[in-house]
Amino acid sequence: MVKMELSQEILKFVEDNRGGLKFLEEAYTSSRYIARVYEKEDALRSLEVVERLFKLIEKVEGDVFSH
């Protein structure tokens, strides 16, 4: 995959998952300072975003290091 295609795919991932990524960032920051309880649905949605992120990272890693 060409670098431009990779960058476009990353941008699309961020656009498509912006809400989930923001939620994960806020949850991470809050866990440092605020005792908070999350719903099971929030955890499941977060796991889905992380799984998609890992797949994207594997794809990028494979393309970058395969050359």
* Dihedral sign computed on CA atoms, order 10, 14, 16, 21: positive
Residue 59 CB neighbours (<10 A): 14
At 19-67, the pLDDT tens digits run 999 999 999 999 999 988 999 999 999 999 999 999 999 999 998 888 6
Overall number of domains in the chain: 1
**Binning pLDDT at 50, 70 and 90, where does residue 15 land?**
very high
In angstroms, the CA 62 to CA 67 distance is 9
DSSP string covering 17-58, please? THHHHHHHHHHHHHHHH------HHHHHHHHHHHHHHHHHHH
Q: What is the pLDDT of residue 1?
A: 55
| Domain encompassing residue 50 | 3-65
